[in-house]
Amino acid sequence: MYTKSEIAKKFDHTFLKAFGIKETIDTLCQEARELHTYSVCVNACWVSTCKENLKDSDVKVCSVIGFPLGQCGLETKLFECKYAIEQGADEIDYVIDVGQAKMHNWDYIQKEMDQLTQLCHDHQVKIKVIFENCYLEKDEIKKLSEIAKEVKPDFIKTSTGFGTGGATVEDVKLMKETVGDLVEVKAAGGIRDWNTCQAMLKAGATRIGISASKAVLDEIQ
């Protein structure tokens, strides 16, 4: 289906825990460089460190915004987003306000997605919209995907990895079927082996958020 190097280029090699220290981030970057992953994904305070570590490589730097709860307000998300971009982020993953989605306040969701997507695209930065599917009904996931199809962020994403559940094949299929070729899908949360990873790719994901990148790549023959 894919070569090992092609699979690595679908990985956002991730460390988002609260207890990260510089040594942790340096190791993450070194692993990403050796594995040739697409990016590292880190909290915003580590973006500049990663840019320095990876400056002579093709590994991108991704940062998370409104993470992991999504309920810090749009103005805060815009400020965080600007900060991460100023620090050198190549991509932004932001968490929607899940409460607004549960209340079916779709105008708010679209406004948030519009403004953050516009900000990123104005700076030639890619943006991924995290739904946090474990808290959503299937019709809510579909509605969010329909909004994304209209707004056209670069990706929609299943999960933060900090909720009550992560990516599922069923959700990835639903998201991909809804957005078609206009938006890509990132699967994240609980992907720790090649079988799970392969299932997400077959379901339509084109990017994988993963901390176990080396272990998964080592499984591939």
Which position among 10, 60, 77, 186 bears the catalytic label?
186
- Told to judge if 142 belongs to the known catalytic residues of this protein, a careful annotator would answer no
| 3-state SS assignment for residue 41 | strand
First-residue to last-residue Cα distance in the chain = 12
Q: Is 166 left (phi over 0), alpha (psi -120 to 50) or beta?
A: beta
- Told to judge if 60 belongs to the known catalytic residues of this protein, a careful annotator would answer no
Residue 209, both tokens = 């958020």
The dihedral built from the CA positions of residue 58, 42, 113 and 200, taken in this order, carries a sign that is positive
- Told to judge if 157 belongs to the known catalytic residues of this protein, a careful annotator would answer yes
Q: At 76, phi and psi to the nearest 5?
A: -65, -40
Which position among 90, 93, 97, 154 bears the catalytic label?
93
Which position among 60, 77, 157, 176 bears the catalytic label?
157
Q: Which residues are catalytic?
A: 93, 157, 186
